[in-house]
Amino acid sequence: MIFIHLRMEVHIISPFGFCSGVNNAIEMAKKARKSYSNGIYLLGMIVHNEDVVKELEKENMHIIDERKSNLLDELKKIPNGSIIIYSAHGHPYIYEEIAKKKNLIQIDATCPFVSLNLKEANEFEKGTTIYIGSKKHLEAASFYFNCPSSYFFDIDTFSFLRKGEKKPKHVITQTTLSEDEIEKAMEIIRKEYMEASLEKSVCFSTKSRQDAIKKLPNEYDAILILGSTYSSNTNKLASISIDKGFKTYRALNLEELKKLDLKGIKKIAVATGASTSKKTLEECSSYLESL
């Protein structure tokens, strides 16, 4: 009897690799390392991927992880004259005043799509904007502090954490939510505030990655989502894949992928979160193709 071993068929879902905001933040950090000999401190995980952050750590940068430390307390401890780099997700602007007093050289790696949200909120009449986001995420937490007149609708509890005095008219969201959860939030918001209209939603990178999974045909045995469990946009990709009924696997990198039980999977599609590198994708897809 002859046994034929068919290799796994692997489809890479596009777009893949770093989004523009993540790529820009990493390049800014690397450029800073080349330009300055002073200590460099990344205030908050500059992008939400542990492997990327470890690579920067190897280049002698100090990472202050917002999951483990209070950023404000840590900022106060940074030696005067050091360099600080703010994360792609933004930062409360109060940090800038503290940094100035300590003569820190400040580099802002905030993604332009994140900054645009605050800019738009400031252009609307004060106190008339509702922001939808997760207060546990640095992007939304920063907005909460930087735009104190705004309403804040928490996506984790689907309830308001803060309300204003005026009637809200405009709604803007954290850049990495899913369209389904925004719709659910809007239904709740409109019950109370009929006039509130969604002005600005997720960023282009988030939307195109989510749409690509939504459009996938049902011919795959499974979907592999590559990215950190701390990455908001990656978590949404996994939720969408599960909601579509796909068997969904998750891994940060090749090491984690090798631990997964992929028995019976013959055809797989692979998606990457916005802070997962092409190198990780290539390593993982080569491994899958070898099975």
Residue 203 engages ligand SF4 in binding (rule: CB under 6 A): yes
The residue of the chain with the least Cβ separation from ligand SF4 equals 21
61 part of the interface to ligand SF4, by CB under 6 A: no
**What is the per-residue DSSP string for 198-254?**
EEE-S-HHHHHHHHHHHT--TT-SEEEEES-TT-HHHHHHHHHHHHTT--EEEESSH
> Which residue, chain included where needed, has tokens 């430390």?
69
Contact present, 171 and 150 (Cβ < 8 Å) = no
Q: Quick one: which segment of 18-26, 148-156, 163-171, 250-258 binds ligand SF4 (CB under 6 A)?
A: 18-26
Of the candidates 87, 142, 173, 205, which one interacts with ligand SF4 according to CB under 6 A? 205
Interface with ligand SF4 (CB under 6 A), residue from 206, 231, 241, 276: 206
Spell out the SS3 assignment of 162-189: ECCCCCCCEEEECCCCCHHHHHHHHHHH
Does 20 bind ligand SF4 (CB under 6 A)? Our answer is: yes
Total residues at interface with ligand SF4 (CB under 6 A): 15
- Part in contact with ligand SF4 (CB under 6 A); list of ranges 52-60, 72-80, 186-194, 198-206: 198-206
Q: Beta-carbon neighbour count of residue 249 at 10 Å?
A: 20
Going residue by residue from 159 to 188, which x/- string records binding to ligand SF4, judged by CB under 6 A? ----------------xx------------
What is the side-by-side strand order in the sheet with 9-12?
Answer: 9-12, 267-272, 222-226, 248-251
Whether the CB-CB separation of 202 and 182 falls below 8 Å is answered with: yes
> Does 213 participate in binding ligand SF4 (rule CB under 6 A)?
no
> At 279, phi and psi to the nearest 5?
-60, -45
Q: Are 262 and 3 in contact (CB under 8 A)?
A: no
Q: Which of 17, 21, 44, 168 binds ligand SF4 (CB under 6 A)?
A: 21
Q: Is 235 in the site for ligand SF4 (CB under 6 A)?
A: no
Strand partners, 62: 41
Residue from the set 78, 111, 254, 271 that interacts with ligand SF4 by CB under 6 A: 111
Contact between 274 and ligand SF4 by CB under 6 A: the answer reads yes
* Binding footprint of ligand SF4 on the chain (CB under 6 A): 19-22, 88, 111, 113-114, 175-176, 203, 205-206, 233, 274
